[in-house]
Amino acid sequence: MPLPKLTRLELQIMETLWSRGPCSIRELLEAFPRDERLAYTTVQTVVYRLEAKRAIRRTSKFGNAHVFEAVVSRDSAQHRMIDDLVALFGGRRLPIVTHLIESGKLTPEELREARSALRKATKQEKPE
Protein backbone atom coordinates (compact mmCIF):
# COMPACT_ATOMS: atom_id res chain seq x y z
CA MET A 1 0.00 0.00 0.00
CA PRO A 2 1.46 3.41 -0.96
CA LEU A 3 2.25 5.90 1.76
CA PRO A 4 -0.51 8.47 2.28
CA LYS A 5 -0.04 12.15 1.50
CA LEU A 6 -0.19 14.11 4.73
CA THR A 7 -1.32 17.70 5.27
CA ARG A 8 0.58 20.13 7.48
CA LEU A 9 -1.86 19.60 10.36
CA GLU A 10 -1.72 15.83 9.93
CA LEU A 11 2.08 16.04 10.07
CA GLN A 12 1.90 18.03 13.31
CA ILE A 13 -0.19 15.28 14.87
CA MET A 14 2.09 12.59 13.46
CA GLU A 15 5.11 14.43 14.90
CA THR A 16 3.53 14.26 18.35
CA LEU A 17 2.90 10.53 17.96
CA TRP A 18 6.45 9.95 16.70
CA SER A 19 8.03 11.88 19.56
CA ARG A 20 5.72 10.96 22.45
CA GLY A 21 4.43 7.55 21.41
CA PRO A 22 0.78 6.47 21.69
CA CYS A 23 -1.61 9.30 22.66
CA SER A 24 -5.29 9.99 23.12
CA ILE A 25 -6.98 12.80 21.21
CA ARG A 26 -6.88 14.95 24.37
CA GLU A 27 -3.11 14.38 24.70
CA LEU A 28 -2.63 15.28 21.02
CA LEU A 29 -4.66 18.45 21.54
CA GLU A 30 -2.61 19.44 24.59
CA ALA A 31 0.64 18.94 22.65
CA PHE A 32 -0.17 22.05 20.59
CA PRO A 33 1.20 25.31 22.00
CA ARG A 34 -1.49 27.12 23.99
CA ASP A 35 -1.71 29.99 21.50
CA GLU A 36 -2.13 27.56 18.58
CA ARG A 37 -4.52 25.16 20.29
CA LEU A 38 -7.33 23.84 18.11
CA ALA A 39 -10.82 22.72 19.01
CA TYR A 40 -11.05 19.16 20.31
CA THR A 41 -13.36 18.24 17.43
CA THR A 42 -10.84 19.55 14.88
CA VAL A 43 -8.08 17.31 16.27
CA GLN A 44 -10.57 14.43 16.45
CA THR A 45 -11.50 14.88 12.78
CA VAL A 46 -7.84 14.96 11.72
CA VAL A 47 -7.08 11.87 13.80
CA TYR A 48 -9.97 10.00 12.18
CA ARG A 49 -8.70 11.10 8.76
CA LEU A 50 -5.24 9.78 9.60
CA GLU A 51 -6.81 6.54 10.73
CA ALA A 52 -8.73 6.26 7.43
CA LYS A 53 -5.45 6.86 5.56
CA ARG A 54 -3.92 4.06 7.66
CA ALA A 55 -1.19 6.35 8.94
CA ILE A 56 -2.25 5.68 12.55
CA ARG A 57 -4.25 3.03 14.38
CA ARG A 58 -6.14 2.61 17.63
CA THR A 59 -4.18 0.63 20.18
CA SER A 60 -6.38 0.69 23.25
CA LYS A 61 -9.26 2.38 24.99
CA PHE A 62 -9.43 3.91 28.48
CA GLY A 63 -13.00 4.79 29.39
CA ASN A 64 -14.28 6.68 26.36
CA ALA A 65 -10.80 7.69 25.16
CA HIS A 66 -9.10 5.79 22.34
CA VAL A 67 -5.32 5.74 22.23
CA PHE A 68 -3.64 6.04 18.82
CA GLU A 69 -0.15 5.20 17.58
CA ALA A 70 1.71 5.93 14.36
CA VAL A 71 1.79 3.19 11.75
CA VAL A 72 3.78 5.22 9.23
CA SER A 73 7.34 5.95 10.35
CA ARG A 74 8.84 9.45 10.36
CA ASP A 75 11.46 8.34 7.80
CA SER A 76 8.82 6.95 5.44
CA ALA A 77 6.76 10.14 5.64
CA GLN A 78 9.84 12.32 5.04
CA HIS A 79 10.89 10.23 2.04
CA ARG A 80 7.38 10.55 0.60
CA MET A 81 7.48 14.34 0.99
CA ILE A 82 10.92 14.55 -0.62
CA ASP A 83 9.75 12.38 -3.53
CA ASP A 84 6.73 14.69 -3.95
CA LEU A 85 9.03 17.74 -3.93
CA VAL A 86 11.32 16.20 -6.55
CA ALA A 87 8.24 15.43 -8.68
CA LEU A 88 7.31 19.15 -8.55
CA PHE A 89 10.70 19.83 -10.17
CA GLY A 90 10.02 17.36 -12.95
CA GLY A 91 12.25 14.77 -11.33
CA ARG A 92 15.23 17.15 -11.27
CA ARG A 93 17.01 16.94 -7.92
CA LEU A 94 19.93 19.29 -8.56
CA PRO A 95 17.94 22.57 -8.22
CA ILE A 96 16.78 21.45 -4.76
CA VAL A 97 20.25 20.46 -3.57
CA THR A 98 21.81 23.60 -5.06
CA HIS A 99 19.25 25.82 -3.35
CA LEU A 100 19.88 24.19 0.04
CA ILE A 101 23.64 24.64 -0.33
CA GLU A 102 23.58 28.20 -1.71
CA SER A 103 20.92 29.50 0.67
CA GLY A 104 23.13 28.86 3.67
CA LYS A 105 20.31 26.99 5.39
CA LEU A 106 22.41 23.88 5.98
CA THR A 107 24.34 23.72 9.23
CA PRO A 108 28.04 22.84 9.15
CA GLU A 109 27.13 19.40 10.54
CA GLU A 110 24.56 18.87 7.76
CA LEU A 111 27.15 19.89 5.16
CA ARG A 112 29.64 17.36 6.62
CA GLU A 113 26.97 14.64 6.50
CA ALA A 114 26.12 15.58 2.90
CA ARG A 115 29.80 15.41 1.89
CA SER A 116 30.12 12.03 3.57
CA ALA A 117 27.00 10.71 1.81
CA LEU A 118 28.31 12.03 -1.53
CA ARG A 119 31.70 10.34 -1.02
CA LYS A 120 29.95 7.07 -0.11
CA ALA A 121 27.69 7.26 -3.17
CA THR A 122 30.65 8.07 -5.43
CA LYS A 123 32.58 5.03 -4.13
CA GLN A 124 29.58 2.77 -4.79
CA GLU A 125 29.37 3.99 -8.41
CA LYS A 126 33.00 3.09 -9.22
CA PRO A 127 33.35 -0.30 -10.94
CA GLU A 128 35.75 -2.58 -9.13
Q: What was the pLDDT predicted at 1?
A: 59
Please say whether the beta carbons of 72 and 33 come within 8 A: no
Mean pLDDT of the 82-92 span: 92
Calculate the alpha carbon distances from 62 to 28, 67, 92, 123 in Å: 15, 8, 49, 53
Distance CA 115, CA 11 (A): 29
38 pLDDT above the threshold of 90: yes
pLDDT at residue 128, as a whole number:
57
Q: Are 59 and 7 in contact (CB under 8 A)?
A: no
- Residue 106's pLDDT band, with cuts at 50, 70 and 90, is confident
Give the pLDDT score at 28.
97
Average of per-residue pLDDT across 22-31: 96
pLDDT value at residue 62: 86
Q: What is the pLDDT of residue 127?
A: 64
Quick one: pLDDT at residue 82? Answer: 92
Query: Is residue 2 predicted with pLDDT exceeding 80?
Result: no
Residue-wise pLDDT for 57-81, tens only, equals 999 998 889 999 999 999 999 999 9
Per DSSP, helices labelled H in the chain are 8-20, 25-31, 40-52, 74-88, 94-102, 108-125
